[in-house]
Amino acid sequence: MRFYYLKIGFRTILKNKLFSLINIVGLATGITAFLLIFLYVRYERSFDRFHRDSDRIYRLRYERSSAVGESVRFASCCPPAAIRIREMYPEVEKIARIFRYRATVIFGDRKYYEERMFFVEPQFFYVFDISMMAGDPATGISDANTAFISESYARKYFGDDDPLGKTINVDREMSFVVTGVFRDFPGNTHLRIDIMLSWPNLLTHYGADIEMSWGDTGFYTYLVLNPAVTAAEFEEQLKLLVERDFGELLRHYRLTLDLKMQPLTDIHLNSAFMQELEANGNRSTVTLLSIIAFFILVIAWVNYINITTARSLTRAMETGLSKAMGAARRELMNRFFVETILINVAALLASLLLIALAWPLFSHLTGIPDDYVPWGQGWFWLTAGLLFFSSILLSGTYPVLVQTSFSTSEVLRGRYIHSKSGILIRKILVAFQLVMSISLITCTILVFRQVTFLRNQDKGITITDILAVRAPRVRDEAFGSRLLAFREELLRDQIISRFSVGTEVPGRQILWDAGGIFRVGSDQSKNYQIIGIDYDYIPLLEAEIIAGRNFDRTFSDSSSLLLNETAVRWMEFESPGAAVDQKVNYWDNIYTIAGVVKDYRQQSPKEAFEPTIYRFMPHGRDVRGFFVMKILPGNEARVMEVTEKTFSEFFPDNPFDYFFLEDYYDQQYRYEKLLGTVFGVFSLLAIIITCLGIFGLTSFLMLQKVKEISIRRVVGSNVVSIMMLFSREFIRITAVSFIISVPVCYYWVSQWLKTFEVRMEISLLDFLIPFVIVLTLTLVTIGLIVNKAASVNPADNLKSE
């Protein structure tokens, strides 16, 4: 009997090739879109969950607030916190600190600038699950001048040689013997480390007193909390600790300090603090993509339901006669369910093939690492299986019930053809598809418009034709004179017109901040962002001095500051001009305000202007950050050749690490671009599925109306009038779908735009364009089918009458 059902199912599918193909393609497209988005969403939600105690691991954060309530929130912590917690709180089972150290690693004649190098306490290996390939985590990194490196870095530095016992040099200041190799951290972690340096070297390098400084940050602190204690309860205890150890000094500087507990598994999607180790994800984006995936899948199911229930009319005679000959409804249901299963099997196989083909591009687009392969994961196949059975039940149940509901008497009387409820349901389902399609296109347009709007905002500075080179880390007493000679050598070549140094460049979060700063005569201390610059930084970026002067070689500016407009307002000066020559107390050192810089976009317009203080940084041994150069347009290749050659001559122990500022600044829009691209791709898929559905429904309608069309042709109707007759209902449905989609899209986009400091205005055109696109595609789809049906010689269709 089962073989009989399969035989009938295959025969029916092959007999109706067009409708079967439409159903398979529609379902395959929906399943593919759903699984791809599901893979991305699962990856984003999996961050840091591979650690054994991930549900009990917390990152201890630091927040500093001024007397008037402005706060700076850090991802890192102050160094003494871990020491005091280790001594006083047994409910903390384990606690460890790491400290990021960006530096140049030298091995033989090779040199690399490393971003993911950390000083690590030995307790780190008890908090996190680190897989060691060689070396003992308990003792291997506890002694001074020892280091662990990752598996990939062992290959990078030493090739096939055994790395144990080899020596690496850091900034020509510290040497470390490799005593262990650990497996690479997986891609789904906020904490990626390539090199671990022994903690005693940190204390030697910066001085042991740093561990007692409550005012410092940069110490990333992780702890495992006893399950009997909640994070909120422990935070209350930490308030007492801060008050006992640091309260008096905080009151002196009119500041408050809070230690916050952040769950490890919340960091990636819920954390955007200062000093984050990596650019984190966005929970709103992940949630939105989950909704899109669900709706596209539902559109595909609706498509199948619509076409199958419409086709059930042609099979009503088959159903009625089968019942008359003794077939039970259960038997008929089994037969139709087998057809649904066969269609879904074909769709699932096609979907898996499409995913395999699209995965390299999709993973590159979304930033999923190459080693994250879904087919090797049991949960992927479990999800695909659950989706397969859900698809059969949800898309197949209603059509099967409709197809088996006809009675012999109804079939003979022809009443089933005029079922108003069935027609209404199909209209509602088509409207649902169109609402989703119009909404996705609308959101795509608005997302791209907002990104374009942000990129076209006046930044207040010039970022084009600017080359930034990371300042050398390896330096000696002659570094200052070499820097000046390097500058003069580059300026001698006419393709470089200006040269400057700065601790930051536009497009980066400012990592240097300070609290407890206030204008002399005021008692309101606040937090400020700090940038160290030289004489040429402001002119090179073409930032505007709106009051006072820039740092100038004719003045002694070691005790001078520049403020931006926001900092002027924070210090409560009446105007930028009123701030010039006034005094500022910067940690009990008195500085004079030399000038005021017009606010410019240090970061993208997504962020608000930050109160910023510019400190003078002379060209000496302590220069850090970046060399910034203004180049003549169209000379990039020549600039790179000259700059790299000259850099290597003056700073031979340092790697040449560079970027063009415009490209670097543009990286801030990565998530918005991803969102727009994903919207665009899946809007296209939704449109394809919807058009397939309309194509299938219209094709079926034409089969039913072929004689009516021929009669209309005979009595003089032209193709256009016939097309308008059959399009009228779809136009009404599309218009209703448009009306429904407008408030939905407006609400979502309005909420999304609130996350931006600067946002575009939403116009009616943003909603009309998607409506016109969908309506045009709908009419074209219908027109092609009607034109084909109306072009047939009427005599061929009416000769049997």
Higher pLDDT, 246 or 124: 124
Give the pLDDT confidence score for residue 418 in this predicted structure: 47
pLDDT one-digit tens code per residue, 736-792: 999 999 998 999 888 888 878 888 999 989 999 999 988 888 888 888 877 777 776
C-alpha–C-alpha distance, residues 341 and 396, integer Å:
8
**Using an 8 Å Cβ cutoff, are 198 and 147 in contact?**
yes
Tokens of 586: 């910067």
Higher pLDDT, 127 or 729: 127
Give the pLDDT confidence score for residue 704 in this predicted structure: 65
pLDDT-derived band at 374 (thresholds 50, 70, 90) equals confident
Percent of the chain predicted with pLDDT > 90: 44
Q: Which residue has the tokens 């300090």?
A: 257
Residue 565, phi-psi category: left (phi > 0), alpha (psi -120 to 50), beta (remainder):
alpha
Q: Which of 145-154, 411-420, 522-531 has the highest mean pLDDT?
A: 145-154
C-alpha–C-alpha distance, residues 327 and 315, integer Å:
15
Mean of pLDDT over the chain: 86
Task: Inform me whether the pLDDT recorded for 602 exceeds 90.
Answer: yes
Q: Which residues contact 231 (CB under 8 A, 6 or more apart)?
A: 58, 225, 261, 263
End-to-end CA distance of the chain: 41
Q: Which residue has the tokens 């002379």?
A: 618
In this structure, which long-range contacts are made by residues 477-486, counting pairs with CB atoms below 8 Å and at least 24 apart in sequence?
Answer: 477/621, 479/620, 479/621, 479/623, 480/619, 480/620, 480/621, 480/623, 482/650, 482/651, 483/619, 483/620, 483/623, 483/650, 484/619, 485/650, 486/646, 486/647, 486/650, 486/651
Higher pLDDT, 172 or 797: 172
Task: Inform me whether the pLDDT recorded for 203 exceeds 50.
Answer: yes
pLDDT one-digit tens code per residue, 442-453: 888 888 888 888
What would the 3-class secondary structure string for 57-84 be?
EEEEEEEEEECCCCEEEECCECCHHHHH
Higher pLDDT, 336 or 559: 559
Give the pLDDT confidence score for residue 625 in this predicted structure: 93
How many CB atoms sit inside 10 A of residue 705's CB?
17
**Can you say whether the dihedral through the CA atoms of 505, 506, 510, 511 is positive or negative?**
negative
Residue 588, phi-psi category: left (phi > 0), alpha (psi -120 to 50), beta (remainder):
left
Torsion, CA 380, CA 382, CA 388, CA 391, rounded to 10: -90
Give the pLDDT confidence score for residue 28 in this predicted structure: 92
Higher pLDDT, 594 or 307: 594
Look at 162-166, 334-338, 456-460, 589-593 and tell me which has the smallest mean pLDDT. Answer: 334-338
Q: How many residues are listed for the chain in this entry?
A: 801
DSSP track, 447-512: HHHHHHHHHTS--SS--TTEEEEEPPS---TTHHHHHHHHHHHHHHSTTEEEEEEES--TTS----
Residue among 187, 223, 195 nearest 85 (CA): 223
C-alpha–C-alpha distance, residues 505 and 396, integer Å:
58
C-alpha–C-alpha distance, residues 568 and 558, integer Å:
20
Task: Inform me whether the pLDDT recorded for 312 exceeds 80.
Answer: no
C-alpha–C-alpha distance, residues 495 and 498, integer Å:
9
Residue 625, phi-psi category: left (phi > 0), alpha (psi -120 to 50), beta (remainder):
left
Give the pLDDT confidence score for residue 501 in this predicted structure: 96
pLDDT-derived band at 86 (thresholds 50, 70, 90) equals very high
**Using an 8 Å Cβ cutoff, are 84 and 146 in contact?**
no
Dmax (CA) for the chain in angstroms is 108
**Interval 103-110 mean pLDDT:** 88
C-alpha–C-alpha distance, residues 316 and 334, integer Å:
16
At residue 644's C-alpha, the angle toward residues 640 and 646, to 5°, is: 120
Q: Where are the alpha helices (DSSP H) in 542-669?
A: 565-570, 576-579, 636-650, 661-666
pLDDT one-digit tens code per residue, 1-10: 456 666 666 6
Task: Inform me whether the pLDDT recorded for 401 exceeds 80.
Answer: no
**Interval 223-231 mean pLDDT:** 95
Task: Inform me whether the pLDDT recorded for 220 exceeds 90.
Answer: yes
Q: How far are the Cα atoms of 165, 169, 201, 248, 713 from residue 145, in angstroms, in the given order?
A: 11, 10, 7, 37, 93
Give the pLDDT confidence score for residue 467 in this predicted structure: 96
C-alpha–C-alpha distance, residues 653 and 630, integer Å:
25
User: What are the helix and strand counts (H, E) for the chain?
Assistant: 25, 24
Tokens of 764: 């009616």
